[in-house]
Structure 1
Amino acid sequence: MEAWVVWLIIAGFFAVAEVLTFTFGLGLLAVAAAAACVASAVGLPVGVQIAVFAATSAAGLGVVRPFALRHVRRPPVLRSGAAALVGREAVALTEVTRHSGLVRIGGEEWSARPFAPDLGVVIPEGARVDVLAIEGATALVHPREEPLWTS
């Protein structure tokens, strides 16, 4: 078996392992094996192929991997607008049913519906609710206490 085929198999192994583990290291080793495969296909000796693999691996693991990990570990983007309201607490200003309702989120009044309207949830006026989603200009809310159920 020719050396470039062996390097190609090694590259494939590392690539599959990276996809299964998301280590950000095995993929770089796959790239290094692919570089060694190219060196072999050009006709360079085995010692040079190993040196290409080692140098490319060291460069990838020492330079590229820290940047990739820093990018992945970056905190989430600051939410603004309606998306920033999801997860906040609100107060029901009127009874909230599947057809109508009004809540105060922070200092703003929003039309509201229960998050699961098919269950027949009725949220009484004055109840504290959690905002689970925003659809257009309507907040989908769920009561913090037990809701009233209608059949």
Structure 2
Amino acid sequence: MVEFFTQYSWIIWVALILLFVIVEVATVEFTFLMLAIGSVGGLLTGLFGGPFWLSVVVAAVVSILLLFTVRPPLLRALKRGGDPTLSNVDALLGQRGTVVVPLAGRVDDPALGQVKLANGETWTARLLAPTGEGSIDTGATVVVTAIEGSTAVVVPAERTSS
């Protein structure tokens, strides 16, 4: 068995390198890239006549060194160009709007109205009234506090400023 590993170790290293590269292409997190480069170190050790156990040690050491020294700066460089603009529901939270159809409601039976947000979208809205009753008339300014399905949960703008 040891003779098999010694004679065909280069095939094992090439297979590991290909496997790690394929996984890296799918994940793009640089972990498997570092393992593939470590495997190249193990392959080169075996090609230069080193025993299989030494190839494994070299691959492990190179991989660990790369994981802790090269991978963090690569991840920072990859994420540096990210777009910080909020999108989808995150972009709506905290956005101001104007009431188009009056909002009224109780905790047990909220009446839905409509709100035109600052981005130009008109949403079905419900008043966030944790206790008692409340209402907001047409033209009042509100702030979106949550999105529940296709309904914006809003509060009067004065409540958010304090």
TM-score, normalised to structure 1's length? 0.49
TM-score, normalised to structure 2's length? 0.46
| Larger Rg, first or second structure (1 or 2) | 2
